[in-house]
Amino acid sequence: MSSRPLSVLIPSSWSQQKKGPASIRSNGSSTQVHSPSWSTLSFDQLSLYARRASNSSLTLLANSSEQEDKKRRRQRDKISQALQGFSQVLYMSLNDCSLGFYRISDHIHRKVPRIVEIKKKLRQSSQKVQVAILDIEDVRKNVCDIERIESFYNITQMIEKSLDILRQR
């Protein structure tokens, strides 16, 4: 039993075009009816043409899918950058109060002990200064009292007289 290739009717305008894929042009194994309106094409040739067309469309699709992948990657990168920025701002706004309290407590733990030490030293110094001031006031008062003692006045008078006598000689 001999098999005959399947034929498909195609418009004659397709067969009249000289420029066309080699798969559509008839070869020796296919039969061709020359009618003014329709031409016949073997099923083998049609499937070959379909394969070539699908391969070329696959390459086009592959190129377009690569471009779409690049576009998607860029969009994904931009979205991830925006999301990172948004999350950073969100974290900062949520942690702003606790961060402020942390800074206050850190300042207290670092600075307050130093301030307390300085305050203790200042109190000790001020006590020493107060004692010195009281001592100076007592000395001043004693000196004033000594000047008022009459015997010291008499002694100074005698010293002055003796100096005058020595000068006259």
Q: What is the pLDDT of residues 68-92, one digit of tens each?
A: 888 889 999 999 999 898 888 887 7
Residues contacting 14, CB < 8 A, separation 6+: 20, 24, 39
Higher pLDDT residue, 115 or 29? 115
**24: nearest Cα among 33, 15, 16, 32:** 15
* pLDDT confidence tier of residue 93, bands split at 50, 70 and 90: confident
Q: What is the pLDDT of residues 1-55, one digit of tens each?
A: 555 555 445 555 555 544 444 444 444 444 444 444 445 556 666 666 666 666 6
Average pLDDT over residues 103-119: 91
Residue ranges covered by each domain of the chain: 7-145
Q: Are strands 7-11 and 38-42 parallel, antiparallel or unpaired?
A: antiparallel
Higher pLDDT residue, 92 or 112? 112
Question: CA 7, CA 63: separation in Å to the nearest integer?
Answer: 34
Beta strand ranges found along 6-141 (DSSP E): 7-11, 38-42
- Tell me which residue has tokens 């307390």: 116
**pLDDT at position 60:** 60
Average pLDDT over residues 97-126: 90
**20: nearest Cα among 43, 41, 34:** 41
Please enumerate, as own/partner, the contacts of 14-19 that have beta carbons within 8 Å and a separation of 24 or more.
14/39, 15/39
**pLDDT at position 86:** 86
Cβ neighbours of 9 (radius 10 Å):
12
**pLDDT at position 128:** 97
**pLDDT at position 62:** 63
> Residue 90: exposed, middle, or buried by beta-carbon count in 10 A (0-12, 13-18, 19+)?
exposed
**pLDDT at position 43:** 60
Q: What is the pLDDT of residues 125-165, one digit of tens each?
A: 999 999 999 999 999 999 888 878 888 888 889 999 999 99
